[in-house]
A = this chain, B = another copy of it.
């Protein structure tokens, strides 16, 4: 008999991970990257007020964080003009995605996403035994109509839709998304991942009654707010769904300093920076860039994998990138 006895589902899961971190690649290459612009991090960092708040809280770290993240949730509720009961805070969107999939998806349940979209969502669906159905990008954009048609076809309980999309940086305006919701099949929840919405044109964010039970929106402090390492994300949804997170989440899982930092960042409106995105480079140059010490990533599936993905960077990062790119292109063409 094997020790321990895993569940059949756990035993069948692959040991692959959605993303390999830059530190892992640096250890394998035995040298640091010259520029770290591949993980959609915001090299400009957080608001100075957020830094001060986290520094101050380092001395208070002997206390568990508030298990209800009350102050942060209250500030977010005020910001979005919704009730406290519409807001859940979690360990990054990744953590919230895991909780949501756990609440909805049992082995064999159908889920719909786009081929090549955020793989960590797929990781969670596989991890709970869901059956993932994928539709292609349309003109390099995730396509609400395709997603919803597929959901109707397979009786999906959940749709993943990122707006703007990662990795392609494409988007739909919020009105289009809202109109699409009216065609959603009954019993299907639309998850709108707005991790990058602060970097998108005005009107991209979904404007909708927070009590609408058809949709859950997710946001993060990892991108525009420059706090990826803090692990603070949040969800906006109807109170019943928000309350359901309390059935499964790690109640004391939020780092105390991170909560304080996110609150301070939220209160400093001047800081968030439009990072933009850049994707029109050939797939073959990625290895050449990495070999030259420039960390970048690329989309996961054809035809989007003709691109590489570059996050925002400092002038030095971008100079390193500009320096390395011609050589990488030349080598790739050879």
A positions within 8 Å CB-CB of B: 1-10, 13-15, 17-21, 23-24, 27, 36, 39, 41-46, 50-51, 54-55, 57-68, 70, 91-92, 94-95, 98, 102-106, 109, 120, 127, 157-158, 186-189, 213-214, 222, 226-231, 238, 241, 243-244, 246-248, 250-258, 261
Residues in chain B near residue A27, CB distance under 8 A: 70
> In the complex, which residues of chain B have a beta carbon less than 8 angstroms from the beta carbon of A187?
1-5
Known: A46-B62, A63-B41. A250 touches B70 (CB 8 A): no
A-B interface, 5 closest residue pairs, ranked by CB to CB distance from nearest: A229-B256, A3-B213, A4-B189, A54-B58, A21-B67
**A41 surroundings in chain B (CB, below 8 A):** 62-64
Assess whether B8 is in contact with A106, with CB atoms less than 8 Å apart.
yes
| Cα-based distance from A66 to B62 in the complex (angstroms) | 23
SS of A interface (majority): loop
Residues of the B chain whose Cβ atoms lie less than 8 Å from the Cβ of A252: 19, 21, 92, 94, 231
Set of chain B residues within 8 Å of A120, measured between Cβ atoms: 251
A238: min CB distance to chain B, Å: 8
Complex Cα spacing A157 to B19, Å: 31
Answer whether A61 and B45 are a contact pair too, CB < 8 Å, given A3-B213, A92-B252: yes
Query: Quick one: closest B residue to A96, CB to CB?
Result: B250
Q: Copy number in this complex?
A: 2
Q: Per a CB cutoff under 8 Å, which of B23, B61, B238, B253 touches A46? A: B61
Supply 22 A–B pairs (Cβ within 8 Å), ascending by A: A3-B214, A5-B104, A5-B157, A7-B103, A7-B104, A10-B244, A13-B248, A15-B243, A19-B67, A23-B68, A36-B63, A41-B62, A63-B228, A64-B222, A65-B229, A65-B231, A92-B253, A120-B251, A230-B256, A231-B252, A255-B257, A257-B258
Determine the chain B residues whose CB is within 8 A of the CB of A157 once the complex forms: 4-5
* In the complex with contacts A17-B246, A24-B68, A4-B213 CB distance below 8 A: yes
Q: Can you name the residue of chain B whose Cβ is closest to the Cβ of A8? A: B106
Task: Report the nearest B residue to A248, measured CB to CB.
Answer: B127
Q: Which residue of B lies closest to A251 (CB)?
A: B17
Please give the distance in Å from A212's CB to the nearest CB on chain B: 9
- Residue on B nearest A256 in the bound complex, by CB: B229
**Least distance between A9 CB and chain B CB atoms (Å):** 7
Q: Which residue of B lies closest to A64 (CB)?
A: B228
**A104 to B55, Cβ gap below 8 A?**
no
- Let me know if A105 and B250 touch, CB within 8 A: no
Question: Assuming A3-B187, A27-B70, what are 8 further A-B pairs, CB within 8 angstroms?
Answer: A3-B213, A4-B241, A10-B103, A10-B244, A18-B251, A24-B70, A94-B252, A230-B257
Partner of A228, one of B51, B61, B238: B61
